[in-house]
Chains A and B, each alone.
Chain A
Amino acid sequence: MRTLAGVEDEEKWLAEGIAGIQHNAFFMHRALDANNLREVLKYSALMLSELRTSKLSPQKYYDLYMRAFDQLRQLEIFFKDESRHGLPVVDLYELVQHAGNILPRMYLLCTVGSVYIKSKQAPSKDVLKDLVEMCRGVQHPIRGLFLRSYLAQVSRDKLPEIGSDYEGDANTVIDAVEFVLQNFTEMNKLWVRIQHQGPGTVREKQEKERNELRDLVGKNLHVLGQIEGVDLEMYKETVLPRVLEQVVNCKDKLAQYYLMECIIQVFPDEYHLQTLEALLAACTQLMPTVDTKIVLTQLMDRLSNYAASSPDVLHEFLQVEAFAKLSNAIGKVIDTQLEMPIVGAMTLFVSLLTFTLRVHPDRLDYVDQVLGACVVKLSSVPKLEDARAMKQVVALLSAPLEKYSDIVTALTLSNYPRVMDHLDDGTNKVMAMLIIQSIMKNDSCISTADKVEVLFELIKGLIKDLDGTNVEELDEEDFQEEQNSVARLIHMLDNEEPEEMLKIIYVVRKHLMTGGPQRLPFTVPPLVFSAVRLVRQLEAQGGDIAGEDVPATLRKIFQILNQTIEALSSVPCPELALRLYLQCAEAASDCDLEPVAYEFFTQAFILYEEEIADSKAQVTAIHLIVGTLQRINVFGVENRDTLTHKATGYSARLLKKPDQCRAVYACSHLFWVDDPEGIKDGERRALRIANAAQQMVNATRGSSGPVTLFVEILNKYLYFFEKGNPHITPSDIQSLIELINTEMLSDNGNTTIHSDPFFSSTLRYIRFQKQKGGLMGEKYDLIKL
């Protein structure tokens, strides 16, 4: 019923009201022109009577009010000019009070009152006091609000504030404040009253309407904030207590929320700081339905910004013990407002923490205290399930990370991991990722085993499967991303001191080993390399660590390495393990630990034989083995023979001929190490292997690309030739070149395109060497092309 028809009717009523105003304004203007006071008063009162309507919504009423307001400006000009109406202003002040209806009477009285003050024939405080008192007669909420707002407006420039014309012996800024406070109090009462009138069914509408009116009330606070001469003392003793009293006593959630917001926004930061206690006490007394957290959050934001604005003000914060007070207040609010959702409490903690971090960056105990309070709150509720609350917790935990670029600081917060415990697994991971990213971003190095222990405790969500995690839910990409991060993190754990580093490695290993087969492939390599790095460091120092002898330590490390890599077999992940074994072997070799290196090779070979079945993987593995073996020089003849033969043997047993060929000629290097004291015993063997390779090529004839292989072999020949292997003669090379030429001819039309440039480059190289002359040139001269 009240919906559409209501809107139309309202339009009609508004139109009628406007017409009424215009009609009477017309006659009023005529009387103004004639300087006929009696008529002016009559028509202005009639005009203002239009504002007596109860039919309009606040918005429409405002429209009407503004029209009357414009007219009142004209009237004020008339009242100001005594020569026009011929009456002293004090008489005028009485005369307008003869009007029978209160609303027009009060509008006129306010208008004359403003003239009266301006004339300075009476102390402004008396006039103001009278006006604000007389306005009590209008108890209708909307009409009263607009009337008082009119009063506030016309009096705004006539307050006896410091520096104004109206300040004087009898009129002090106190009077100005009193006036505004009283007007504010009355307006707020009226505003709150709207809520309690009318049936419950239109509550929602009323709330909307009230929201439209709130700025009328808030304006008073703005004025208070602007009055010159309200110093801290006065604010503390008069202004704030009175405003807060009104806020608390009105027991209305809309008003309380809005006014608290206003207070926080309107008055200067340092006032807030100095009156924190009162302000916070008020916060704890607000209605339970008021969103206190937003209020507090805003307050803390402002204070934080204030603290950030200048370092000079920080001591003020200390002086008033801002943190303790805020912390207390928040505790109280959370305790008393039982219905507050957990997300609310978390938001508060986040704000408090932000505040703490900005204002007291040096007070880690404060930060820890906040987190501690958070833990207490979280413990009191069942498992956290609200996504928004979770988000807040993440924000809470991230804040210290952002502030203290050095993650180490965060690690000393004892409550930090306890808060993390309350996160669900997904969020826990997100948080862990954030921690890692923070470490990466700041390039901070975690250098003690204890801290590493704490850190891994924090990120355990990434390190191992937590109870109840549904593995199938995991997104493959996310998982990889996470594990890569962990891997990167491991590299950030570093200490110059080998002993400590060793401890770190122990700790890391302990944690990583719990990770399960899916994580190990990601986490083991960095651990291994980290250990290997330690090994090399020790080796480079050559010294001992605190009494223990180096080899023993090294052996211990290698043992750990061995066990660590072995863990990969459970994955299984043979290729990776193989690579790691080879790395370790190399490291061991550098340390002159032949048995250890041998052991690693053995492990690698076992893996190759037993686990690597794929032919391509085999090829790769062989090349790795050969490469590593070639570089290792720690082995005695016997061990070396065993290993090289094994490797050669594997090569020859590869599945495809080209692979065999390539592997074999790679093996040739094992017998010829280009090193002054290197092993050259195998020079003959190298050639033999080269030949063997050649034969294998022959075997591949008919299939694609034997020529390429020949060219590759030719390159090997040249290599050994240059290195001075006596078994490679120019004639061998020559015959090979011829062979290639023949092959190319016979193969013509076939796929020689690839090998052709390679071959011609090789030939060009030979020619170049010939021309270069010198020792090498002479050698090459023997080769006839």
Chain B
Amino acid sequence: MNFLLGAFKPACNISITFTDGKNRKQVPIKKDNGQIVMNPLFQSQETIAGKIHIDPYQGKKVEHNGVKVELLGQIEMYFDRGNFYDFTSLVRELDVPGEIYERKTYPFEFSSVEMPYETYNGVNVRLRYVLKVTVTRGYAGSIVEYQDFVVRNYVPPPPINNSIKMEVGIEDCLHIEFEYNKSKYHLKDVILGKIYFLLVRIKIKNMDLEIRRRESTGAGANTHVETETLAKFELMDGAPVRGESIPVRVFLTPYDLTPTHTNINNKFSVKYYLNLVLVDEEDRRYFKQQEITLYRLKEETS
């Protein structure tokens, strides 16, 4: 492939390696074309360092007006395709204009980079971090190579974490009281709680707990809101009677969740909700949605 591509491609191959690339944790990222690739994982304030190799193809030389590497944090709206918004942009000049005849290696380092936002792949929006190497050429167009990397930021457990407790109902029809043990969950957390039936006059078939993600992009009149149901977890089968209390225990591990993102660079927000749904025998749905905050807790070891 590379060989064939080389026929049309500029005459060099650029590769980027990270200093601790072998030991760094890799996480899967879904690319545009649906492919899953593994990318190295960083967090804010980390130093991102490595080497860039420029390898001209056999017998070719590369003339250039300079070589640079950029670290970009981009937000990309899908409805506004191609229009990236860079919220972070750092540049390192690697070489003065000249010619490269053989493999050449440039070390680079961005120390203690501020990367406040996490990598995010949503329905309408994407936030990504990328290293961009540019070999500037005057006449034939620059040669550009990208290397994605993932940023995740860990937060300590919130000092205040109240439970969610609420009584809801439809008059003379259904009254329930539900309680979730917390309002803020980390991504590997377990939601514990119970649903207490105070009045049941409808024939309930089952009860599910859904985890919904609400992604809103844009601002003002241009706001797009997209809601996805990420999990549908059956809590109860059959019709309870008055006084019955149904336990809730939902492990969050199996689901593809991200932390809650609020107003990221004024571009987008991601919020999570627990949606308690009761379905009656005529498939009518009765539900109550509660927002929860998700956060990423530092993992002990990984």
Contacts and interface: CB of A to CB of B under 8 A. Distances in A.
A197 B245 CA distance: 19
Contacts of A138: 236-238
Contacts of A140: 237-239
Interface stretch (A100-108, A257-265, A511-519): A100-108
B237 A98 contact: no
Contact of B249 (A101, A134, A144): A134
Contacts of A144: 237-238
A97 interface: yes
B85 interface: no
A136 interface: yes
A126 B241 CA distance: 27
B195 to A, nearest CB: 10
A102 B237 contact: yes
A139 B232 contact: no
Given A139-B238, A141-B238, A197-B239, A100 B233 contact: yes
B234 A143 contact: no
B249 A136 contact: no
B246 A139 contact: yes
A141 B249 CA distance: 22
Interface string A613-633: 000000000000000000000
Counting chain A CB atoms within 10 Å of each CB, which of B235, B237, B253 scores highest?
Answer: B237
A139 B247 CA distance: 12
Contact of A100 (B232, B238, B245): B232
Contacts of A137: 234-237, 246-247
A52 interface: yes
B228 interface: no
B251 A97 contact: yes
Nearest to A147: B237
A52 B237 contact: yes
B249 A97 contact: yes
A379 B246 CA distance: 54
A362 B62 CA distance: 123
A11 interface: no
A161 to B, nearest CB: 26
Interface in B226-263: 231-241, 244-247, 249, 251, 253-254
Interface in A142-197: 143-144, 189, 193, 197
A94 B246 CA distance: 19
Given A134-B247, A136-B245, A139-B246, A98 B254 contact: yes
A136 B254 contact: no
Contacts of B233: 100
B168 to A, nearest CB: 19
A136 B247 contact: yes
B173 to A, nearest CB: 18
Contacts of A101: 234, 237
A94 B188 CA distance: 12
Nearest to B250: A97
A97 B248 CA distance: 11
A136 B246 contact: yes
A185 to B, nearest CB: 12
Given A137-B236, A143-B237, A98 B245 contact: no
Contacts, number: 56
Nearest to B254: A98
A430 B204 CA distance: 62
B19 to A, nearest CB: 34
A404 to B, nearest CB: 55
A9 interface: no
A136 B238 contact: no
Contacts of B236: 102, 137-139
A106 to B, nearest CB: 9
Contacts of B253: 94, 98
A189 B245 CA distance: 13
A365 interface: no
A193 B200 CA distance: 14
A403 to B, nearest CB: 50
Given A136-B245, A137-B246, A139-B246, A94 B251 contact: yes
A212 interface: no
Interface in A70-112: 94, 97-98, 100-103, 105
Contacts of B246: 136-137, 139
A134 B193 CA distance: 11
B247 A98 contact: no
Nearest to B238: A140
A94 B249 CA distance: 10
A140 B251 CA distance: 24
A103 B237 contact: yes
Contacts of B231: 100
Nearest to A133: B247
Contacts of A52: 237
B234 A136 contact: no
A103 B251 CA distance: 17
A139 B234 contact: no
B256 to A, nearest CB: 13
A95 to B, nearest CB: 9
A138 B251 CA distance: 18
A737 B109 CA distance: 170
Contacts of A98: 251, 253-254
Contacts of B249: 97, 134
A290 B253 CA distance: 52
B204 to A, nearest CB: 8
B220 to A, nearest CB: 38
A218 B236 CA distance: 25
A139 B237 contact: yes
Contacts of A193: 241
A141 B244 CA distance: 13
A136 B241 CA distance: 12
A29 B249 CA distance: 29
A737 to B, nearest CB: 115
Interface in B67-87: none
B217 to A, nearest CB: 29
Contacts of B235: 102, 137
Counting chain B CB atoms within 10 Å of each CB, which of A94, A134, A137, A193 scores highest?
Answer: A137
A728 B246 CA distance: 123
A675 to B, nearest CB: 104
Contacts of A100: 231-234
Question: What are the 5 tightest A-B residue pairs by CB atom distance, in nearest-first order?
Answer: A140-B238, A139-B238, A102-B234, A98-B254, A139-B240
Given A97-B249, A97-B251, A139-B238, 19 more contacts: A94-B253, A98-B251, A98-B254, A100-B234, A101-B234, A102-B234, A102-B235, A103-B237, A134-B247, A136-B246, A137-B237, A137-B247, A138-B237, A139-B236, A139-B240, A139-B244, A144-B238, A189-B241, A197-B239
27 contacts: A94-B251, A94-B253, A97-B251, A98-B251, A98-B253, A101-B234, A101-B237, A102-B234, A103-B237, A133-B247, A136-B245, A137-B234, A137-B237, A137-B246, A137-B247, A138-B238, A139-B236, A139-B237, A139-B238, A139-B239, A139-B246, A140-B237, A140-B238, A140-B239, A143-B237, A144-B237, A144-B238
Interface of A: 52, 94, 97-98, 100-103, 105, 133-134, 136-141, 143-144, 189, 193, 197
